Amino acid sequence: MVASKRIGQQTLAFQNPPVILGAVAIVGQKEGEGPLGGFFDQIEADPLLGEKTWERAESRLLQQAANLCLQKADLVPGDVDFLLAGDLLNQIIASSFCARELNVPFLGLYGACSTMAQGMALGGMLIDGGMAELVLNCVSSHHETAERQYRYPTEFASQRTQTAQWTVTGAGAIVLGSSSFAKTGLARVTEATLGRVVDYGIKDPNNMGAAMAPAAADTIAQHLADTDRKPSHYDAIITGDLGTVGKKLVLQLLEQKGWQVPSLLHDCGEMIFDAAQDAHAGGSGCACSATVFCSYWLKKLQAGALKRLLFVATGALFSPTSYQQGESIPSVAHAVVVEGMPNGGGS
Amino acid sequence: MGGIKADQDQAKAYSEMTKRVTPNAPLFKNIVLAFLVGGTICTIGQGVLNLFVAFGFSPEEAVTPTLGVMIALGVSLTAGGIYDEIGRFGGMGSALPITGFANSIAAPALEYKREGFVLGVGAKMFTVAGPVLVYGTITAIIVAALRWLLVGIS
Amino acid sequence: MDFLFAFLIGGLLCVAAQLVLELTSLTPAHVMVLFVSLGAVVSGLGLYQPLVDLGGAGATIPLPGFGHALVQGILKAISQEGALGLLTGGFTATAAGISVAILASWVAALLFDPKS
């Protein structure tokens, strides 16, 4: 049997593209004070969200994003066929603990900071494959849970390097529906390019942008090759959380592959903080690309200011154990094509 | 550059490329800040030392209680959420003095209380300071033994 | 005058550590380990005591001073009790500091929560 919905090596083209019925971005105080503060749905001033631990706080962020997202799409958890969620914590407990509250069949995902795009691609497959009508995708990250897991205790006095990125506290959620919901859709997901794991030998866990840039370049170039398109087919190519250093690298790597895209390419990690916020190379974490995409970029699509985006979320697939053992940092990037719906209802 | 897993040459070329786009650390600024923060902490320590001397301790005897006071100060500033802010700009100026050693013990103690007082606080307290004690002790024993053998104890 | 020298010696030791941090790929924990060990070595060579005489707290408060205290503690214990001093002297000399650190940190954990 021929895989009729495949184009080229790594790209899927949905026959009945799933539509985005609702999207939510909830962030912490620092993100709320950043340049995109006005675009987020909710800003949480308390990093603990009234909970006892940072981990519970992260799970709470995820739950709030999931519930608000369903509410915005006029749905209740019982309407949803599957929950696809992921985060950065060991054994993705923020997601599992969120799923415990939602009572929806759950698939836990781990793609590090690429998880939102991974979930959108998988959700699209479930829906276009006729396995689901409605799929809820959500991801979270939390600065303090990431610090204690990957780096030092939160009160430990340490200086951040120039290439270090600041893990975004926040959660993003998207509910995808089958094409039968087209009239209430905000945008639709038409294609996905699933990335290979790429490793160019970067070992410094404080330079994830450099570790992930080759994966982003590989997936973008593969997508263009698979679809036989030029970058200008898109109004914007949006990378996840490469930060200022990784963004410069991905532009150079794409140039080596013959593509010049400096004015088309935007990076969520670079956008979410400004220079005065002491975030050094920019934001990172699952919630970085997810919250910026679910707020700023989807609003641009809805407003018709942009018509077609290539959203390329990137993930560094390492653990504290692997870098202490001297391993380099493998990375992955997944891309989804998201198009505006000029005739869609959306509000 | 092609491969998915870069070979040695590719990794080297990419590492060079990364260096070229990485902004230089503000070396001069960091050094000046380390000097000022470290110097200030030591000056406070000298004040404490002088107090003990004023109360009749000899300068040698005063060292131990001074370290005790400075450690208590480092722990207090950590508990108050202040020492990590000093560390953000002070760098080694805040890490090298004994107050930084105290911070490295108090920070995991606070952080891991949520995992309990035995397997959290008790077990994690020395995650950063442990290596300092281990290598300080080993080096000191070797150095002292060598000195004893080669020079003798005066 | 002792304040000035404490500031200068303490500050310069921190500058040396900062330089190591900036110019190598070592983490702060590695640099702390390196400097406590260096302090012990320099002390064994008999060169740290002059720094203490000059800088006072500027030489005893930074971690190399901790290495110095360990070595001098061991040497003193050897002179008093012979070979056993190799194993007891270091901890005897530094016990007060470590005890304060453990006790104060435990009490801090009891009373305070980490802030972001």
pLDDT tens-digit map of A167-188 = 999 999 999 999 999 999 999 9
Q: Do A45 and A193 belong together in one domain?
A: no
Question: Which residue in the set C21, C28, C114 is minimally distant from A155, CB to CB?
Answer: C114
3-class DSSP state of A342: coil
Instruction: Identify the pLDDT of residue A343.
Output: 62
Contact with chain A for residue B19, Cβ under 8 A: no
Q: Does a structural domain hold residue B65?
A: yes
Q: Give the model confidence (pLDDT) of B26-72 as tens digits.
A: 999 999 999 999 999 999 999 999 999 999 999 999 999 999 999 99
Which amino acid is present at A95? S
Both tokens of C79, joined, read 């002179």
Q: Do A33 and A142 belong together in one domain?
A: yes
Q: Does a structural domain hold residue B110?
A: yes
- Containing A187, the helix (H) or strand (E) segment is strand A187-193
Instruction: Identify the pLDDT of residue B29.
Output: 96
Q: Does a structural domain hold residue A45?
A: yes
**Does the beta-carbon distance from A253 to B23 stay under 8 Å?**
no
Q: Secondary structure of chain A: what % helix, strand, coil (to 5)?
A: 40, 25, 35
User: What is the C-alpha separation between B21 and B36, in angstroms, rounded?
Assistant: 30
Note the Cα A68 to chain centre separation in Å.
Answer: 18
Residues of chain A with pLDDT > 90: what percent?
A: 95
Q: Give the model confidence (pLDDT) of B111-154 as tens digits.
A: 999 999 999 999 999 999 999 999 999 999 999 999 999 998 86
Provide the residue range defining the domain that includes B89: 25-128
Q: Cβ neighbours of residue A84 under 8 Å, at least 6 residues apart?
A: A106, A107, A109, A119, A122, A123, A135, A136, A137, A138
Q: Give the model confidence (pLDDT) of B73-103 as tens digits.
A: 999 999 999 999 999 999 999 999 999 999 9
Instruction: Identify the pLDDT of residue C30.
Output: 96
Answer whether residue A269 shows pLDDT above 80.
Answer: yes
For residue A336, how many C-alpha atoms fall within 13 Å in the half-sphere facing its CB? 28
- Give contacts of A144 with chain C, Cβ < 8 Å: 114, 116
Which chain A residue has its CA at the smallest distance from B3's CA?
A: A198
Q: What are phi and psi of A267, to 5 degrees?
A: -120, 125
Q: Do A207 and A300 belong together in one domain?
A: yes
Choose one of A161, A180, A199: the last residue of a domain. Answer: A180
Instruction: Identify the pLDDT of residue A346.
Output: 45
Q: Do A160 and A250 belong together in one domain?
A: no
Q: Do A172 and A225 belong together in one domain?
A: no
Q: How far is B20 from chain C (nearest CA, A)?
A: 16
Instruction: Identify the pLDDT of residue A347.
Output: 43
Whether A265 and A297 have beta carbons less than 8 Å apart is answered as no
Both tokens of C115, joined, read 């802030």
Whether C75 and B72 have beta carbons less than 8 Å apart is answered as no
Which chain A residue has its CA at the smallest distance from C112's CA?
A: A155
Question: Which residue in the set B42, B98, B121 is minimally distant from C6, CB to CB?
Answer: B42
Q: Does a structural domain hold residue B137?
A: no
Choose one of A180, A211, A240: the last residue of a domain. Answer: A180
Instruction: Identify the pLDDT of residue B3.
Output: 58
CATH number at residue A205: 3.40.47.40
Answer whether residue A140 shows pLDDT above 60.
Answer: yes
**Does the beta-carbon distance from A153 to B110 stay under 8 Å?**
yes
**Does the beta-carbon distance from C67 to B113 stay under 8 Å?**
no
Q: Do A283 and A170 belong together in one domain?
A: no
**Does the beta-carbon distance from C58 to B98 stay under 8 Å?**
no
Which of C19, C24, C25, C116 to mutate to test binding with chain A, by most A CBs within 10 Å of its CB? C116
Whether C44 and B144 have beta carbons less than 8 Å apart is answered as yes
> ipTM score here?
0.96
Which chain B residue has its CA at the smallest distance from C69's CA?
A: B140
- Give contacts of B96 with chain C, Cβ < 8 Å: 13-14, 17, 31-32, 35, 62-63
Handedness of CA B16, A237, A282, A63 (dihedral sign): negative
Q: Which residues pair with A265 in a beta bridge?
A: A237
Nearest to C46 by CA among B67, B151, B58: B151
Q: Does a structural domain hold residue A1?
A: no
Q: What is the mean pLDDT of chain A?
A: 96
Q: Give the model confidence (pLDDT) of A46-87 as tens digits.
A: 999 999 999 999 999 999 999 999 999 999 999 999 999 999
Q: Does a structural domain hold residue A281?
A: yes
Contact with chain A for residue C82, Cβ under 8 A: no
Instruction: Identify the pLDDT of residue B154.
Output: 66
Q: Does a structural domain hold residue B2?
A: no
Answer whether residue B1 shows pLDDT above 80.
Answer: no
Q: Does a structural domain hold residue A347?
A: no
Both tokens of A78, joined, read 């019982």
Choose one of A180, A212, A237: the last residue of a domain. Answer: A180
Which chain B residue has its CA at the smallest distance from C56's CA?
A: B46
Which chain B residue has its CA at the smallest distance from A243's CA?
A: B22
Band (B4; pLDDT cuts 50, 70, 90): confident
Q: Do A99 and A132 belong together in one domain?
A: yes
**Distances, alpha carbon A159 to alpha carbons A199, A316, B84, B85, in Å:** 27, 22, 9, 9
Q: Do A114 and A221 belong together in one domain?
A: no
**Does the beta-carbon distance from C63 to B98 stay under 8 Å?**
yes
Both tokens of A291, joined, read 């919250």
**Does the beta-carbon distance from C116 to A158 stay under 8 Å?**
no
Dump the DSSP string for A22-84: EEEEEEEHHHHTSTTGGG-SEEES-TTTT-SSHHHHHHHHHHHHHHHHHHHTT--GGG-SEEE
Q: Does a structural domain hold residue A345?
A: no
Band (A344; pLDDT cuts 50, 70, 90): low
Band (A1; pLDDT cuts 50, 70, 90): low
Q: Give the model confidence (pLDDT) of A198-216 as tens digits.
A: 999 999 999 999 999 999 9
Both tokens of A209, joined, read 């942008």
Instruction: Identify the pLDDT of residue A178.
Output: 97
- Give contacts of C115 with chain A, Cβ < 8 Å: 154-155
Provide the residue range defining the domain that includes A335: 187-340
Answer whether residue B2 shows pLDDT above 80.
Answer: no
**Does the beta-carbon distance from B43 to C21 stay under 8 Å?**
no
Nearest to A197 by CA among A215, A209, A211, A210: A215
Which chain C residue has its CA at the smallest distance from B71's CA?
A: C101
Contact with chain A for residue B102, Cβ under 8 A: no
- Give contacts of B123 with chain C, Cβ < 8 Å: none
Q: What is the mean pLDDT of residues C3-9?
A: 98
Domain count, chain A: 2
**Does the beta-carbon distance from B84 to A248 stay under 8 Å?**
no
**Does the beta-carbon distance from B42 to C112 stay under 8 Å?**
no
Q: Do A296 and A332 belong together in one domain?
A: yes
Angle subtended by helix axes C63-81 and B129-150, to nearest 10: 40
Q: Do A193 and A174 belong together in one domain?
A: no
Selected residues 56-95 of chain C with any CB under 8 Å from a CB in chain B: 56-58, 60-63, 65-67, 69-71, 73-75, 78-79, 86-87, 89-91
Q: Does a structural domain hold residue B46?
A: yes
Q: How far is B107 from chain A (nearest CA, A)?
A: 5
- Give contacts of B111 with chain C, Cβ < 8 Å: 114
Answer whether residue A345 shows pLDDT above 60.
Answer: no
Which amino acid is present at C59? A
Q: Do A105 and A225 belong together in one domain?
A: no
Q: Do A97 and A208 belong together in one domain?
A: no
Domain count, chain B: 1
| Neighbouring chains to B with at least 3 Cβ pairs closer than 8 Å | A, C
How many residue pairs bridge chain A and chain B with CB atoms within 8 Å of each other? 109
Question: Which residue in the set A154, A158, A204 is minimally distant from C114, CB to CB?
Answer: A154
**Does the beta-carbon distance from B78 to A252 stay under 8 Å?**
no
Residues of chain A with pLDDT > 70: what percent?
A: 98
